[in-house]
Structure 1
Amino acid sequence: MTARILIIEDEALVAMELRFVLEDLGHDVVATVADARSAREVVQETDVDLALVDIHLSDGPTGVALGRELGQDLGVSVLFMTANPGMVRGGVAGTIGVLSKPTDEAAVQKAVDYALRRRQGQPVLYAPPELQLFG
């Protein structure tokens, strides 16, 4: 199942590595951006199925509000990827869950597969253990 994925991450090396992993899995990475404004522009111009969102971006800790906006208002499935999962411990409306960084390729693959299956309404029996679900 190929998806259009937006990476929202301010650390260039992390974003590049994530892009390589997702492309190796056959997904189309529509863009990698480092701030909330750029992410909004991409979503307005391009169909995005899934956004991987860091919490601390180049414009500050804007990821939580951005994730909520993408998920609730713009119809994008959202997974947070952060070294600070406690910042979203209570969950964020409109988003799926959080994957703690650092992580590995297998965890990313399982979390993305889970999110995409949910998006398509396919049955998902359980989430991967690395993914902390909200709600």
Structure 2
Amino acid sequence: MLFGHGDRVISRILIVEDEPLVAFDNEHLLTHAGYQVVDTVDSYAHAELVIKSAEIDLVLADIRLNGKRSGVDVAQLARDRGIAVLFVTANCPADARHLAVGCLIKPYAQKELLAAIEAIDAIMAGSTPGRLPQALMLF
């Protein structure tokens, strides 16, 4: 890890993902890496409830979700509440770049997800991130 657990800006993460296997893998990986996964949800409606009721440092948002609303809608809600967003999707939405810190393109390796979060943590801490994963685009 780039930072010790106590030095992180990001500690509480909301996973918004409609693919159960990806959601489970991300939750397990992040928990094992010392992050607190606040919740793992698959729809805007559930994400809205969590965002409005929990302390969250970062939202990992897929674009396609269950229901009528998308990860872009989740990103707008999170941004309105001052919560950083990282899109994790196969197709990064060019028209929503202003809503997120960046986009990690699927499929990505677990180490790329951790490196992306560490890079965003560095940016939020006012530092320059180290080497960025190839699958990560910062906005």
From 5, 14, 20, the counterpart of 2:13: 5
Query: Aligned runs of 1:87-102 on 2, under 5 Å?
Result: 88-102=93-107
Q: Which amino acid aligns with 2:119?
A: Y
Contact 1:127 1:133 (C-alpha < 8 Å) held by counterparts: no
Q: Which amino acid aligns with 1:100?
A: I
SS at match of 2:99: coil
Give the whole-Å Cα distance in 1 for the aligned partners of 2:70 and 2:33: 28
- 1:47 paired residue number: 55
Q: Per-residue CA shift, 1:72-106, capped at 9, x if unaligned?
A: x1111100001223xx1354223111111111111
Deviation for aligned residue 1:62 = 1.1
Give the whole-Å Cα distance in 2 for the aligned partners of 1:126 and 1:25: 19
From 81, 85, 88, the counterpart of 1:78: 85
Deviation for aligned residue 1:129 = 2.7
How many pairs does the alignment contain? 131
SS at match of 2:98: coil
- 2:113 paired residue number: 108
TM-score of the two chains, using structure 2 as the length reference: 0.85
Q: Which runs of 5+ in 1 are unaligned?
A: none
From 15, 36, 40, the counterpart of 1:28: 36
SS at match of 2:103: strand
Q: Per-residue CA shift, 1:38-73, capped at 9, x if unaligned?
A: 1111111110000000000001451112212212x1
CA RMSD of aligned residues (A): 1.7
Contact 1:10 1:34 (C-alpha < 8 Å) held by counterparts: yes
Identity %: 34
Q: Per-residue CA shift, 1:10-48, capped at 9, x if unaligned?
A: 111110000111111110000000011111111111100
Q: Which runs of 5+ in 2 are unaligned?
A: 1-7
